[in-house]
Amino acid sequence: MWVRWWILLIPPLIVGFTLVAASQFVFLRASFFEDLGLGRVGDELVIGNYVQFLTDGFYLKILWVTVKTSALAALSTLILGFPVAYLIARMRSSWSMILLAGIVVSTFITIVIKVYGLIVIFSANGLFNQTMLAIGLFDKPFSVFGNETGVVIGLMHFTLGFGVLLLYSIIQTIPKSLESAAQIHGANRWRVYYRIIFPLSLPGVTAMLLMVFNMCMGAFTSAALLGGGRVFTLPVMIQRIVMMDIKYSMGATIAAVLLVSVIVINLLSIYLLRRLRAAHLVVV
Amino acid sequence: MFKSAKNALAGIFITLFLSSSALAAGQFDGVTLLVGTWGGLWKDNQVENIVSKFEAEGGKVEFVTGSPAANFAKIVAARGQAPFDVVEILAAQVKDYHELDVLHPLDLSLIPNTEFLAESRYNEWLVGSWETQEVICYHKDKFAEEGIPVPTTYRDLVHPKLAGRIQFPDINSGGGLTGLAGVTFAEGGDETNIEPGLNLVKEMNVLKFWARGGETMAQFESGDIIASVVHAGWCLRTKKLAGQNVTTVHPRINDELVGVASEGWWGVMKNSKNAEAAQWYINQFISSDYQLKMAIKTGLVPVNQSVFEPMADDPLVAEMIVLDPEKVGSQLRVDYSKVIIPDWTDQWNRAIAQ
């Protein structure tokens, strides 16, 4: 007897759609109505909120800061995460599983705790600053508060474990024999990385960069806690406008701009990767 | 005869049982009161001193914790159907609560402790809960070590040795609007012109704009800051709980005003089905006993004037908080009916954003 197993998928699909899509639709719909304050919106469909966002240098600057800090955090995650992932992927001892388990466990730690850990380490009396001052590299303590550097560090800290796991799964798909073959034919270590590992991992690295970038674009906690009320990203601005000003329409507009920006940047990246593939600059 | 005696005995037992049940029945049997207030120590104090009394009356209290701004947002999101019966309201929010028409009129006969409050601190809609005194909290030892003069005005915080070592309330925080009002009035502005205040904040070179007052303790402890604009209660707790040698300065605003005061209120929600219990709760909150405990523990200024005298017995409170009614009267109080909060926050965001 043929069983229609797909029927079982309908209830979770309906629940998922209701919780995610429908609730977002209701909120985003508000962006097309005039904001009357205190959570009230006008009756007529307007695009005034979008016009205000796109013509106001203040909001555009916040969009730029959000994209910039997210991109820098994604890049930093790649730079710090790739060697770690490579090392674990190529490790033959049981330590690889222990290290991998450690990274998985670290991703379970709530972001608030992670950020407060950073705050303690980078405080004026903390380990980092005391060391730097003691060895004379700094003449005054470095603070993670109220600057974009701190926000990038916070975002990177948030995504690093996830990034390493993604990179690990990518590197594992590259046969070790290719590296050995290249070395047998006289390639040095740098050349092996540059000509073999990097091109083969580039599609996966791009996917990882985009995933980490997307996570950072929507990240609120790191930016709110480390931004010190001075670095505004779009999620921070949404919180301020919705919670403090109770301006739902404008908050929805910023949320919509954030969503569209992420989609556009992702599509653009995929398009660029395809162009690179077409030009045979990337091996698939 | 035997049967009637048995019946009589049973009757006596039933009567005794019913009367004892009636005696044991509390005023609020089966009532679950939802209270919108801050979490942490603030809520714990209420649990310890008020909730136990409410439970003795047969009721139950559930807290909806969050800042007054967050709790107001919940009311708006629920289209006026507040998820609590009674809520803490900041002076700056009173106008919005009235505009949304979500308050239940109070029966002041159910809140007899209002007799200890100044007339300006209760009306048919709201009852005062506390006051704060917004101060400059500074580290005495660090200032002395580095030869930094003790500040007397907000402008004194513009000092090269204080650059990147001071904290100021974020406009989103509980002390944000009052803090901005303080610097604005001190620089010659007013409710309709906050630009002078914003300019001074920019000049200050603030390390961090705090979102929660508790950050003050952590930042003093970590050595990140040596001065903070905050309400006196946080300074007091920084000394008591974090052991930092801090004290307060009530900044001079102009020739007539010294220091800045902020007010908190309680309101009962229009959709509450437990309005009587809510008013009982407010009455307990403003009782002499609770207000004294609150003041000593948190450094907030009570609205119940009968506790000013015993408060002065606490040396830390006496050092950090102004209790002289004449001096309290000369503190700046913002007229929030003249303030358009979204305008203030918009100007703040644009001025402060990096």
Q: Which of A46-50, A138-142, B168-172 has the lowest mean pLDDT?
A: A138-142
pLDDT value at residue B19: 47
B70 CB near a chain A CB, below 8 Å? yes
Cβ-count burial A163-201 (b if 16+ within 10 Å, e if not): bbbbbbebbeebeeeebeebeeeebeeeebbeebbebbb
* B211-229 residue pLDDT tens: 888 899 999 999 999 999 9
Looking at the predicted structure, is the pLDDT value of residue A248 above 70?
A: yes
Residue A284 banded pLDDT, cuts 50, 70, 90:
very low
B350 CB near a chain A CB, below 8 Å? yes
**Residue A131 distance to chain B (closest CA, Å):** 15
The answer to whether A61 contacts B206, with C-beta atoms less than 8 Å apart, is: no
Nearest to B38 by CA among B78, B67, B12, B15: B67
Looking at the predicted structure, is the pLDDT value of residue B129 above 50?
A: yes
Kindly give, in sequence order, each residue whose CB lies less than 8 Å from that of residue A4, ignoring residues fewer than 6 positions away: none
Complex ipTM tops 0.95: no
The answer to whether B354 contacts A62, with C-beta atoms less than 8 Å apart, is: no
Question: Nearest by CB to B342, which of A37, A123, A145?
Answer: A37
**Residue B343 distance to chain A (closest CA, Å):** 9
A38 CB near a chain B CB, below 8 Å? yes
Q: Give the type of residue at A229.
A: G
In chain B, the residue whose alpha carbon lies closest to the alpha carbon of A229 is B209
Structure tokens at B191: 């409710």
In chain B, the residue whose alpha carbon lies closest to the alpha carbon of A27 is B77
**Contact A254/A234 with Cβ under 8 angstroms?**
yes
B77 CB near a chain A CB, below 8 Å? yes
A61 CB near a chain B CB, below 8 Å? yes
Q: How far apart are the first and last CA of chain B?
A: 96
The yes/no answer on whether domain A42-278 falls in CATH 1.10.150.20 is no
A25 CB near a chain B CB, below 8 Å? no
Mean pLDDT of the residues in chain B: 91
Percent of chain A with pLDDT over 70: 97
Looking at the predicted structure, is the pLDDT value of residue B2 above 70?
A: no
Looking at the predicted structure, is the pLDDT value of residue B23 above 50?
A: no
Kindly give, in sequence order, each residue whose CB lies less than 8 Å from that of residue B93, ignoring residues fewer than 6 positions away: B68, B69, B72
Q: Which of A139-143, A205-209, B89-93, B116-120 has the lowest mean pLDDT?
A: A139-143
Residues of A whose CB is below 8 A from B349:
58, 232, 237, 240
Ordered by where they begin, the domains of chain B are 32-131+263-318 (3.40.190.10), 133-261+333-352 (3.40.190.10)
Of A36-40, A125-129, A268-272, B109-113, the range with the highest mean pLDDT is B109-113
SS3 content of chain A, % helix, strand, coil (to 5): 75, 5, 20
Residue with tokens 């007897």: A1
**Contact A178/A43 with Cβ under 8 angstroms?**
no
Residues of B whose CB is below 8 A from A243:
69-70, 73, 172
In this prediction, residues A257-276 reach a mean pLDDT of 91
Looking at the predicted structure, is the pLDDT value of residue B15 above 80?
A: no
A203 CB near a chain B CB, below 8 Å? no
Q: Which of A217-221, A254-258, B289-293, B324-328 has the lowest mean pLDDT?
A: B324-328
The answer to whether A58 contacts B170, with C-beta atoms less than 8 Å apart, is: no
pLDDT value at residue A281: 58
Helical ranges in B112-194 per DSSP H: 140-146, 176-186
Residues of A whose CB is below 8 A from B211:
224, 229
* B59-68 residue pLDDT tens: 999 999 988 8
Looking at the predicted structure, is the pLDDT value of residue A101 above 50?
A: yes
Q: What is the dihedral of CA A148, A149, A151, A152, to 10 degrees?
A: 120
In this prediction, residues B101-117 reach a mean pLDDT of 96
**Residue A79 distance to chain B (closest CA, Å):** 27
pLDDT value at residue A41: 81
In this prediction, residues A159-183 reach a mean pLDDT of 93
* Rounded Cα–Cα distance for residues B79 and B198 (Å): 34
Question: Nearest by CB to A243, which of B70, B218, B222?
Answer: B70
Percent of chain B with pLDDT over 70: 93
Looking at the predicted structure, is the pLDDT value of residue B21 above 50?
A: no
Nearest to A46 by CA among A65, A60, A29: A29
Of A236-240, A247-251, B197-201, the range with the highest mean pLDDT is B197-201
Nearest to B151 by CA among B171, B132, B165: B165
A–B interface: beta-carbon pairs under 8 A: 87
**In this predicted model, which residue has the larger pLDDT, B266 or B69?**
B266
Q: Give the type of residue at B209.
A: F
Question: Nearest by CB to A246, which of B76, B218, B346?
Answer: B76
SS3 content of chain B, % helix, strand, coil (to 5): 50, 20, 30
B211 CB near a chain A CB, below 8 Å? yes
Of A177-191, B61-75, B151-165, B330-344, the range with the highest mean pLDDT is B151-165
In this prediction, residues A133-139 reach a mean pLDDT of 91
Nearest to B298 by CA among B128, B50, B44: B44
Sequence-ordered strand ranges (E) for A97-211 = none
Query: Environment class of residue B271 by beta-carbon count within 10 Å: exposed (0-12), middle (13-18) or buried (19+)?
Result: middle
Looking at the predicted structure, is the pLDDT value of residue A275 above 80?
A: yes
* Rounded Cα–Cα distance for residues A246 and A239 (Å): 9
pLDDT value at residue A133: 93
Residue B319 banded pLDDT, cuts 50, 70, 90:
very high
B81 CB near a chain A CB, below 8 Å? no
B99 CB near a chain A CB, below 8 Å? yes
* Rounded Cα–Cα distance for residues A268 and A272 (Å): 6
Looking at the predicted structure, is the pLDDT value of residue B40 above 90?
A: no
